[in-house]
Amino acid sequence: MIGKLILTAIVLGGGALLLLSDSFEIFISPFASAAASDIENIQNDPVIQNKFSQALDALYENLGKIQFSISDLFKN
């Protein structure tokens, strides 16, 4: 029950930010440009690519545990 309330609060908060913001594009553009430059850096650096690959492998190995944790959160 608490998990559903938290998820609802996140969705409503995000929607309120979009609706109440006069200039959402101005708000999000610095973050978008920073993300684009980070993606370019990841593509050009083999060390970062290797670490990212290791992180994805660890996430994939633990995906079953994460799914069970999330389903337990929403059952209660």
Question: Would the CA dihedral through 9, 12, 15, 16 be positive or negative?
Answer: negative
Please give the C-alpha separations between residue 69 and each of 3, 13, 24, 55, 76, in angstroms, as whole numbers: 11, 24, 34, 19, 11
Query: 75 or 76, which is more confident?
Result: 75
pLDDT in tens, 20-73: 666 666 777 788 888 888 888 777 888 888 888 899 898 888 887 777 777 777
Question: What is the C-alpha to C-alpha distance for residues 36 and 5, in angstroms, rounded to an integer?
Answer: 33
